[in-house]
Structure 1
Amino acid sequence: MSKRLVNILVPLISILLGLIIGAIVMAISGFSPVEGYVALWNGIFMDTYTMGETVRQITPYVFAGLAVAFAFRTGLFNIGVEGQLIMGWLAAAYVGFKFDLPTVIHLPLALIAAAVAGALWAFIPGLLKAKLQVHEVIVTIMMNYTALHVANSLIGTLSGGDERTPKVQETASLRSSFFESLTDYSRMHWGFVVALIAVLVMWFILEKTTRGYELKAVGFNKHASQYAGMNVNKNIILAMVISGAFAGLGGAMEALGTFENMSKLHGFTGIGFDGIAVALLGANQPFGVLLGAILFGSLKNGGLNMPSEAGVPTEIVNIVIALIIFFVASGYIIRVVLERFGKQRKEEK
């Protein structure tokens, strides 16, 4: 059995096992697995509106997954995607309502502001890691809480004491009347195109540029990279900055597309933390992250239909997602089984 075939089969088998055991959990809990999964399917593909909402749900997960995956590929563990996403959300919302500019300037400016905000928030743990060897996991976790409270405070200031910022102007909005008419007024927006471009950008940086090679090399072995003449500290900081920029753009999807403003948060959005699971599902590869986000976002959005249509609690969806992630994380065992099976068949022939 070829290595490429094994790489394809491992996530597919993981997903299948997750769905099977999820069905068992539903049955033990007194719910019909068939009705539950039919409701899940309908929540994803029932009509144009639900499909539009599914795409809308997937979009920020792509950016969160890319942010985590980029850091992983360069030897860093960015747990601060949530905070970077929040700061990007705030920056995009501010630029979106504050300035009066043509669309060709306003929308790109709001996206750039989100990317810069996320990058600057990630710069701090990157600098501390590079200069003082402070572990990025600790710093990024703490900065998530800082971002949450800073954002809530600034929302109150920018809105004059209101609970949310003013709505972004149409010139900065990612929404389109074309998608509204196509998907029966769902909140689907142009952000999914930006997400596809981001996937290509990450692939190009890591696979087709000298800088990308250096970033991966530093992540693989710092000492060897330094011996080869690479600037290790510079590359650590740059890796965190690029990762934060992806996260900030994820926040822009919510500010300029889904909600068109930013409300005070009573807790974390969860998107940044879910990005860890998306990156894991996608094996930290750009196109794998896209597929992982499609699966994750589809399950999240489809799960909202399970209580109303089948009476199945949404917690069951979280269990299914957790099971899939568990089996993907245990992919080594599945890989060994597949390789032994392929070897046995080859010997029999």
Structure 2
Amino acid sequence: MLIIDAHLDLSMNALEWNRDLTLPVSAINAREQGLTDKPDRAKATVSLPELRKGNIGLVVATQIARFVAPDNSLPGWHSPAQAWAQTQGQLAWYKAMEDAGEMVQINNLQTLENHLDLWNNGEDNSKKTVGYILSLEGADSIVTVDYLEKAHASGLRAVGPAHYGPGRYAQGTDATGGLRKDGPDLLREMERLNIILDATHLCDDSFWEALSIYNGPVWASHNNCRALVNHNRQYSDEQIKALIERGAVIGAALDAWMMVPNWVRGQSDPKAMNCSLDVAVDHIDHICQIAGNAKHVGIGSDLDGAFGREQCPYDLETISDLQKFKSLLSNRGYTEDDIKGMMHGNWINFLRKAWS
């Protein structure tokens, strides 16, 4: 079954983790044996061949670069211009993958339909280009709101205004407060350009303010449920209801600490914590019960998002194992149509409406 994954940090892995994503995951991990600079070395799960193996033909792929003020202890760049330059390097990597015939940018309805035709033509997928929709995780690198038009011209189609901590336009995970001074202008320019608002990572105050200002298409590329894991990174039932009312799709994330309560980074073990793909179905099912249907959930795995197999479901070896969701969802009583929706159809329907 075709899968769409709505959140992968591919360019970050290519440039900051120095991974050649055209190689099999096994080759990437073999090259990293003995490296200790990052906790997930030799534990990667994502590469372009694995996407093809898993019939994951379309992804939402990120640019990401945080600005940090002198009093911010998070890692990041010391000026917005540096952050912008980082995202442009990431864009250059995507363009290089296009030139190599590995990937293709999907940025409007026609390119979407053409790509779906390619991946549904019944032929072998091993040589097909992987489609990507360009998304910006955290808007700190938008030097001024005027830069958003430049980014849109390069294919940017979704923006999450904040990431972790305080952002230049909004407050993110573990921060508090509403939009920053230029946040409303950013949202209005996004609406003018028909750039999707990715509500992921917005703190509660910024979340509600953003929804009150922005009238365009909204999704949540990778978010789980606060009712199951009580942390501000997750969505409350009230937030989930608000997103459903806006026609959003919410992508289930596979970062273990977002899936099971009481996870301790660097110490907890997925098997010992019973962190499996079936736990992700718990989060999916919770949203479906709130919605009363299965039309507002998809996959936004966030795999290799600065973590690897040490912090993802124990029954997932590589991203191709996302295919296991089909039987897990069936076991919960979901119909074939429901499952097709959650694997790909809900994202496709969202994009067709947003881009029509």
TM-score by length of 1: 0.27
- Indicate the structure with greater strand content: 2
- Indicate the structure with greater helix content: 1
Higher relative contact order (CA 8 A, sep 6+): 1
Q: Which of these two proteins has the greater Rg computed from alpha carbons?
A: 1
